[in-house]
Protein backbone atom coordinates (compact mmCIF):
# COMPACT_ATOMS: atom_id res chain seq x y z
CA UNK A 1 0.00 0.00 0.00
CA UNK A 2 1.45 3.45 -0.83
CA UNK A 3 2.49 5.34 2.28
CA UNK A 4 0.85 8.61 1.26
CA UNK A 5 -2.67 7.40 0.56
CA UNK A 6 -4.09 9.86 3.06
CA UNK A 7 -2.65 12.99 4.69
CA UNK A 8 -2.91 11.36 8.09
CA UNK A 9 -0.82 8.35 7.10
CA UNK A 10 1.60 10.65 5.25
CA UNK A 11 2.24 12.85 8.28
CA UNK A 12 2.44 9.82 10.57
CA UNK A 13 5.00 8.19 8.26
CA UNK A 14 7.15 11.33 8.08
CA UNK A 15 7.18 11.74 11.86
CA UNK A 16 7.97 8.05 12.30
CA UNK A 17 10.78 8.17 9.72
CA UNK A 18 12.29 11.21 11.44
CA UNK A 19 12.13 9.59 14.87
CA UNK A 20 13.61 6.37 13.52
CA UNK A 21 16.55 8.29 12.01
CA UNK A 22 17.22 10.18 15.24
CA UNK A 23 17.08 7.02 17.36
CA UNK A 24 19.52 5.21 15.05
CA UNK A 25 21.89 8.21 15.07
CA UNK A 26 21.72 8.35 18.86
CA UNK A 27 22.39 4.59 19.04
CA UNK A 28 25.40 4.72 16.71
CA UNK A 29 26.93 7.78 18.42
CA UNK A 30 26.62 5.97 21.73
CA UNK A 31 28.02 2.73 20.27
CA UNK A 32 31.02 4.53 18.76
CA UNK A 33 31.75 6.11 22.15
CA UNK A 34 31.52 2.77 23.95
CA UNK A 35 33.74 1.00 21.42
CA UNK A 36 36.40 3.70 21.82
CA UNK A 37 36.15 3.48 25.60
CA UNK A 38 36.57 -0.30 25.35
CA UNK A 39 33.16 -0.90 26.95
CA UNK A 40 30.69 -3.69 26.33
CA UNK A 41 28.45 -1.94 23.78
CA UNK A 42 25.38 -4.14 24.22
CA UNK A 43 24.96 -4.93 27.88
CA UNK A 44 26.33 -1.91 29.71
CA UNK A 45 24.11 1.05 30.61
CA UNK A 46 24.88 4.42 29.05
CA UNK A 47 26.92 6.71 31.27
CA UNK A 48 27.98 10.34 31.22
CA UNK A 49 31.50 10.53 29.75
CA UNK A 50 32.58 13.04 32.39
CA UNK A 51 30.98 12.02 35.71
CA UNK A 52 30.15 8.39 34.89
CA UNK A 53 26.58 8.76 36.19
CA UNK A 54 24.24 6.16 34.67
CA UNK A 55 21.86 7.87 32.24
CA UNK A 56 18.09 7.46 32.54
CA UNK A 57 15.44 7.21 29.81
CA UNK A 58 14.93 11.00 29.88
CA UNK A 59 18.62 11.60 29.14
CA UNK A 60 18.62 9.27 26.17
CA UNK A 61 15.71 10.67 24.18
CA UNK A 62 17.25 11.93 20.91
CA UNK A 63 17.18 15.70 20.24
CA UNK A 64 14.66 16.48 23.01
CA UNK A 65 17.06 15.48 25.81
CA UNK A 66 19.74 17.67 24.30
CA UNK A 67 17.44 20.69 23.94
CA UNK A 68 15.70 20.22 27.31
CA UNK A 69 18.96 19.94 29.23
CA UNK A 70 20.64 22.70 27.20
CA UNK A 71 23.32 20.34 25.88
CA UNK A 72 24.63 19.57 29.37
CA UNK A 73 24.80 16.51 31.60
CA UNK A 74 21.94 16.67 34.14
CA UNK A 75 24.18 15.36 36.92
CA UNK A 76 27.51 17.17 36.54
CA UNK A 77 26.80 19.94 34.02
CA UNK A 78 29.47 18.73 31.56
CA UNK A 79 28.83 19.75 27.96
CA UNK A 80 27.43 17.10 25.61
CA UNK A 81 29.18 17.43 22.20
CA UNK A 82 27.03 19.39 19.70
CA UNK A 83 27.72 16.74 17.07
CA UNK A 84 25.35 14.37 18.95
CA UNK A 85 22.52 16.80 18.14
CA UNK A 86 23.76 17.42 14.58
CA UNK A 87 24.03 13.70 13.76
CA UNK A 88 20.54 13.01 15.14
CA UNK A 89 18.89 15.83 13.18
CA UNK A 90 20.89 14.91 10.05
CA UNK A 91 19.94 11.24 10.00
CA UNK A 92 16.32 12.08 10.88
CA UNK A 93 16.12 14.51 7.94
CA UNK A 94 17.76 12.02 5.56
CA UNK A 95 15.23 9.33 6.55
CA UNK A 96 12.36 11.77 5.86
CA UNK A 97 13.79 12.81 2.46
CA UNK A 98 14.27 9.18 1.46
CA UNK A 99 10.69 8.30 2.46
CA UNK A 100 9.33 11.35 0.59
CA UNK A 101 11.32 10.48 -2.55
CA UNK A 102 10.57 6.78 -2.61
CA UNK A 103 7.14 6.68 -0.98
CA UNK A 104 8.27 3.51 0.69
CA UNK A 105 11.32 1.93 2.31
CA UNK A 106 12.14 -1.48 0.88
CA UNK A 107 14.87 -3.83 2.06
CA UNK A 108 17.55 -2.39 -0.25
CA UNK A 109 16.74 1.17 0.78
CA UNK A 110 16.77 0.18 4.46
CA UNK A 111 20.14 -1.46 3.85
CA UNK A 112 21.51 1.78 2.38
CA UNK A 113 20.19 3.76 5.35
CA UNK A 114 21.97 1.36 7.70
CA UNK A 115 25.15 1.95 5.67
CA UNK A 116 24.71 5.69 6.27
CA UNK A 117 24.26 5.01 9.99
CA UNK A 118 27.36 2.79 10.21
CA UNK A 119 29.42 5.34 8.25
CA UNK A 120 28.39 7.87 10.88
CA UNK A 121 29.65 5.60 13.68
CA UNK A 122 32.86 4.97 11.79
CA UNK A 123 33.31 8.75 11.37
CA UNK A 124 33.04 9.36 15.12
CA UNK A 125 35.53 6.56 15.82
CA UNK A 126 37.95 8.09 13.32
CA UNK A 127 37.55 11.64 14.67
CA UNK A 128 38.00 10.62 18.33
CA UNK A 129 40.20 7.55 18.11
CA UNK A 130 42.02 8.18 14.79
CA UNK A 131 41.22 4.61 13.75
CA UNK A 132 38.98 3.01 11.13
CA UNK A 133 37.21 0.49 13.34
CA UNK A 134 36.83 -2.85 11.57
CA UNK A 135 33.74 -3.85 13.58
CA UNK A 136 31.68 -1.32 11.60
CA UNK A 137 33.08 -2.63 8.30
CA UNK A 138 32.12 -6.20 9.26
CA UNK A 139 28.60 -5.02 10.15
CA UNK A 140 28.33 -3.31 6.73
CA UNK A 141 29.37 -6.52 4.99
CA UNK A 142 26.94 -8.68 6.99
CA UNK A 143 24.04 -6.30 6.19
CA UNK A 144 24.99 -6.24 2.49
CA UNK A 145 25.01 -10.05 2.32
CA UNK A 146 21.74 -10.22 4.29
CA UNK A 147 19.96 -7.97 1.78
CA UNK A 148 21.19 -9.90 -1.30
CA UNK A 149 18.05 -12.08 -1.65
CA UNK A 150 16.05 -8.86 -2.13
CA UNK A 151 18.01 -7.31 -5.01
CA UNK A 152 16.56 -7.77 -8.49
CA UNK A 153 18.72 -9.62 -11.05
CA UNK A 154 21.14 -11.01 -8.47
CA UNK A 155 23.81 -12.38 -10.86
CA UNK A 156 24.23 -9.11 -12.76
CA UNK A 157 24.10 -7.19 -9.49
CA UNK A 158 26.87 -9.20 -7.82
CA UNK A 159 29.15 -9.21 -10.88
CA UNK A 160 28.79 -5.42 -11.21
CA UNK A 161 29.67 -4.84 -7.55
CA UNK A 162 32.59 -7.29 -7.62
CA UNK A 163 34.01 -5.55 -10.72
CA UNK A 164 33.73 -2.16 -8.98
CA UNK A 165 35.33 -3.56 -5.85
CA UNK A 166 38.26 -5.20 -7.67
CA UNK A 167 38.97 -2.26 -10.01
CA UNK A 168 38.90 0.57 -7.49
CA UNK A 169 40.48 -1.33 -4.59
CA UNK A 170 43.18 -2.64 -6.97
CA UNK A 171 43.89 0.98 -7.88
CA UNK A 172 44.07 1.97 -4.19
CA UNK A 173 46.47 -0.93 -3.51
CA UNK A 174 48.76 0.19 -6.36
CA UNK A 175 48.72 3.79 -5.09
CA UNK A 176 49.46 2.57 -1.56
CA UNK A 177 52.34 0.40 -2.83
CA UNK A 178 53.83 3.28 -4.87
CA UNK A 179 53.60 5.67 -1.92
CA UNK A 180 55.26 3.17 0.40
CA UNK A 181 58.02 2.42 -2.10
CA UNK A 182 58.80 6.16 -2.15
CA UNK A 183 59.03 6.11 1.63
CA UNK A 184 55.70 7.94 2.05
CA UNK A 185 52.82 6.80 4.22
CA UNK A 186 50.28 4.40 2.67
CA UNK A 187 46.56 4.44 3.45
CA UNK A 188 45.31 4.09 7.01
CA UNK A 189 44.83 0.47 8.16
CA UNK A 190 41.28 -0.59 7.35
CA UNK A 191 40.81 2.06 4.64
CA UNK A 192 41.03 -0.30 1.66
CA UNK A 193 38.76 -2.81 3.43
CA UNK A 194 36.24 -0.02 4.00
CA UNK A 195 36.46 0.97 0.33
CA UNK A 196 35.86 -2.65 -0.72
CA UNK A 197 32.62 -2.87 1.27
CA UNK A 198 31.53 0.67 0.33
CA UNK A 199 31.88 -0.24 -3.36
CA UNK A 200 29.81 -3.39 -2.86
CA UNK A 201 26.97 -1.05 -1.92
CA UNK A 202 27.48 1.59 -4.60
CA UNK A 203 28.79 -0.27 -7.63
CA UNK A 204 31.20 1.28 -10.13
CA UNK A 205 29.62 4.50 -11.47
CA UNK A 206 28.01 5.63 -8.22
CA UNK A 207 31.13 4.51 -6.33
CA UNK A 208 33.45 6.64 -8.49
CA UNK A 209 31.12 9.63 -8.12
CA UNK A 210 30.88 9.13 -4.32
CA UNK A 211 34.63 8.80 -3.90
CA UNK A 212 35.40 11.78 -6.15
CA UNK A 213 33.10 14.09 -4.18
CA UNK A 214 34.33 12.59 -0.89
CA UNK A 215 37.99 13.19 -1.75
CA UNK A 216 37.24 16.75 -2.94
CA UNK A 217 35.54 17.46 0.41
CA UNK A 218 38.48 15.87 2.24
CA UNK A 219 41.06 17.89 0.32
CA UNK A 220 39.44 21.32 0.20
CA UNK A 221 36.87 21.72 3.00
CA UNK A 222 38.48 22.54 6.33
CA UNK A 223 36.47 20.45 8.83
CA UNK A 224 37.01 17.32 6.71
CA UNK A 225 40.76 17.73 6.13
CA UNK A 226 42.03 15.69 9.07
CA UNK A 227 39.99 12.53 8.53
CA UNK A 228 38.62 10.89 5.40
CA UNK A 229 35.63 8.84 6.65
CA UNK A 230 33.44 11.84 7.69
CA UNK A 231 33.78 13.26 4.15
CA UNK A 232 32.73 9.93 2.61
CA UNK A 233 29.94 9.64 5.16
CA UNK A 234 28.49 13.07 4.30
CA UNK A 235 28.77 12.29 0.57
CA UNK A 236 26.89 9.05 1.19
CA UNK A 237 24.05 10.97 2.92
CA UNK A 238 23.86 13.66 0.23
CA UNK A 239 23.75 11.14 -2.61
CA UNK A 240 21.06 9.17 -0.84
CA UNK A 241 18.89 12.31 -0.73
CA UNK A 242 19.51 13.29 -4.37
CA UNK A 243 18.78 9.96 -5.92
CA UNK A 244 15.36 9.32 -7.23
CA UNK A 245 15.97 5.59 -7.20
CA UNK A 246 18.16 3.18 -5.28
CA UNK A 247 21.81 3.94 -4.75
CA UNK A 248 22.70 2.02 -7.85
CA UNK A 249 24.87 2.26 -10.94
CA UNK A 250 21.81 2.46 -13.19
CA UNK A 251 20.88 5.79 -11.57
CA UNK A 252 24.20 7.46 -12.31
CA UNK A 253 24.18 5.88 -15.78
CA UNK A 254 20.70 7.37 -16.24
CA UNK A 255 22.00 10.83 -15.32
CA UNK A 256 24.93 10.50 -17.75
CA UNK A 257 22.65 9.37 -20.61
CA UNK A 258 20.21 12.18 -19.87
CA UNK A 259 23.08 14.69 -19.86
CA UNK A 260 24.45 13.26 -23.14
CA UNK A 261 20.98 13.53 -24.72
CA UNK A 262 20.70 17.10 -23.46
CA UNK A 263 24.07 18.04 -24.95
CA UNK A 264 23.11 16.41 -28.27
CA UNK A 265 19.96 18.57 -28.52
CA UNK A 266 22.06 21.74 -28.46
Least gap, CB of 49 to Zn ion (angstroms): 7
Q: What's 79's DSSP letter?
A: B
Least gap, CB of 45 to Zn ion (angstroms): 14
Give the nearer residue to Zn ion in terms of CB position, either 80 or 108: 80
Neighbours of 4 (CB within 10 A): 15
Least gap, CB of 125 to Zn ion (angstroms): 22
Give the nearer residue to Zn ion in terms of CB position, either 78 or 158: 78
Instruction: Report whether 25 contacts 62 (CB < 8 A).
Output: yes
Least gap, CB of 90 to Zn ion (angstroms): 25
Integer angstrom CA distances of residue 123 from 76, 116, 184, 224, 233:
27, 10, 24, 10, 7
Give the nearer residue to Zn ion in terms of CB position, either 71 or 190: 71
Give the nearer residue to Zn ion in terms of CB position, either 50 or 176: 50
Least gap, CB of 73 to Zn ion (angstroms): 3
Least gap, CB of 128 to Zn ion (angstroms): 18
Give the nearer residue to Zn ion in terms of CB position, either 72 or 102: 72
- Residues in touch with Zn ion (CB under 5 A): 48, 50-51, 73, 75-76, 78
Least gap, CB of 36 to Zn ion (angstroms): 17
- Among the listed residues 200, 194, 192, 232, the one whose alpha carbon sits nearest the alpha carbon of residue 216: 232
Rounded Cα distance between 25 and 123, Å, is 12
Neighbours of 195 (CB within 10 A): 21
Contacts 24+ apart (CB under 8 A), 31-35: 31/121, 32/121, 32/122, 32/124, 32/125, 32/128, 32/133, 33/124, 33/128, 35/125, 35/133, 35/135
- Among the listed residues 44, 22, 23, the one whose alpha carbon sits nearest the alpha carbon of residue 33: 44
Give the nearer residue to Zn ion in terms of CB position, either 79 or 179: 79
Interacting residues of 22 by C-beta distance below 8 A, sequence separation 6+: 62, 63, 88, 89, 91, 92
Give the nearer residue to Zn ion in terms of CB position, either 78 or 107: 78
Amino acid sequence: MPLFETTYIGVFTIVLAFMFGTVLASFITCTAGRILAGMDWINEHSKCDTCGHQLGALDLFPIFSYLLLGGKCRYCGAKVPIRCLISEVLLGVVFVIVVLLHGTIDVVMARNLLLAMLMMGLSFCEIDGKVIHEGFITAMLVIWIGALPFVPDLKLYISDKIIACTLICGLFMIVSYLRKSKGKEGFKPGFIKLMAVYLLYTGLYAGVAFLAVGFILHSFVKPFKKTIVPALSVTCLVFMCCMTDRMDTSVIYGYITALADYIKVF
